[in-house]
Structure 1
Amino acid sequence: MRIDILTLFPEMFSIFNHSIIGRALEKGLIEINSHNIREFSLNKHKKVDDYPYGGGAGMVMTPQPIVDCIKATKKLNRGKVIFLGPRGKTFNQEIAKNLSKEKELIFLCGHYEGIDERVYNYIDLEISLGDFILTGGEIAAIPIIDSISRMVPGVLAVEESYTEESFYSGLLEYPQYTRPEEFEGLKVPEVLLSGHHENIRKWRRKQSLILTKTKRADLFSKINLTKEDIKLINEDNINKR
Structure 2
Amino acid sequence: MRFDIISVFPEFFSVLDLSLIGKAQERGILSIDSHDLRDWTDDPHRTVDDSPAGGGAGMVMRPDIWGKAIDTVLSDGAGAGDEAGSVVVAIPTPSGTPLTQRTCERIASDAHHVVIACGRYEGIDARVAQHYAANGVQVIEYSLGDYVLNGGEVAAVALVEAVGRLLPGMVGNPESLVEESHGAAGLLEYPVYTRPVSWREADIPAVLLSGNHGAAARWRKDRALEKTAARRPDMVAKLDATALDKKDKATLASLGYLVPRGGTRPVPVRAREATPRDALALSELAARTFPDAAPAYLTDESIQSFIQQELSLARFQKYVANDRDRVIVLEADSKDLVGYALTIVPEADGIAGLDEGAPVDALIDGAERSGPLLELSKFYIDRQWRGSGGARILWDFTLADLASTCDKWANPGIFLGTNAANRRARHAYRKLGFEEVGTRQFTVGEQDNRDVVFARGLRVP
Report the TM-score, using the length of structure 2 for normalisation.
0.49
Match of 1:122 in 2: 132
Match of residue 131 from structure 1: 146
CA 1:186 to 1:53, structure 2 compared with 1: closer, same or farther past 3 Å?
Answer: closer
Paired residues for 1:152-167 under 5 Å: 152-167=167-182
Structure 2 distance, partners of 1:146, 1:31, is 12
Q: Which residue number corresponds to residue 2 of structure 1?
A: 2
> Following the alignment from structure 1 to structure 2, what is the Cα–Cα distance between the partners of residues 216 and 131?
15
> How far off its partner does 1:96 sit?
1.4
Name the counterpart of 1:21. Answer: 21
Cα distance change, pair 183–25 in 1 and its aligned pair in 2 (3 A): same
Q: Could you tell me how far 1:114 is from its partner in structure 2? A: 1.4
Aligned residue pairs total 241
3-state SS of 2:214 partner: helix
1:230: Cα distance to partner? 1.4
Matches within 5 A, 1:59-138: 59-77=59-77, 78=82, 79-101=87-109, 102-120=111-129, 121-123=131-133, 124-138=139-153
Give the AA of the match of 1:154.
G
- The answer (yes or no) to whether the contact 1:3–1:104 under 8 Å persists in 2 is yes
Runs of 4+ in 1 over 4 A off after TM superposition: 232-241
Question: Using the alignment, how far apart are the partners of 2:231 and 2:97 within structure 1?
Answer: 23
**1:184 and 1:53, CA in 2 relative to 1: closer, same or farther beyond 3 A?**
closer
Q: How far apart are the structure 1 equivalents of 2:229 and 2:36?
A: 45
- State the structure with more CA Rg: 2
Give the structure, 1 or 2, with the largest relative contact order (CA under 8 Å, sep 6 or more).
1
Correspondences of 1:176-195 after superposition (within 5 Å) = 176-195=192-211
Tell me if the contact between 1:88 and 1:127 (Cα under 8 Å) persists in the aligned partners: yes
8 Å CA contact retained: 1:38, 1:48? yes
Q: Percent identity?
A: 39
Flag the structure with higher helix content.
Answer: 1
Unaligned runs of 5+ in 1: none
Q: Residue in 2 aligned with 1:42? A: 42
Structure 1, 179-188 or 2-11: larger mean CA deviation? 179-188
Does structure 2 retain, via aligned residues, the 8 Å contact 1:4–1:105?
yes
The AA in structure 2 aligned to 1:31 is S
* Structure 1 match to 2:32: 32
Match of 1:230 in 2: 249
Question: Deviation digits for residues 165-222 of structure 1, max 9, x if unmatched?
Answer: 1111221111111001122232212221122222221111111111111222222222
**Equivalent runs, 1:212-231 vs 2, <5 Å:** 212-225=228-241, 226=244, 227-231=246-250
Aligned equivalent of 1:141: 156
Given the two structures, how large is their TM-score scaled by the length of structure 1? 0.91
Deviation digits for residues 33-68 of structure 1 (CA, Å, limit 9, x no counterpart): 111111011223321111223222211111121101
Distance 2:60 2:254 in 1: 58
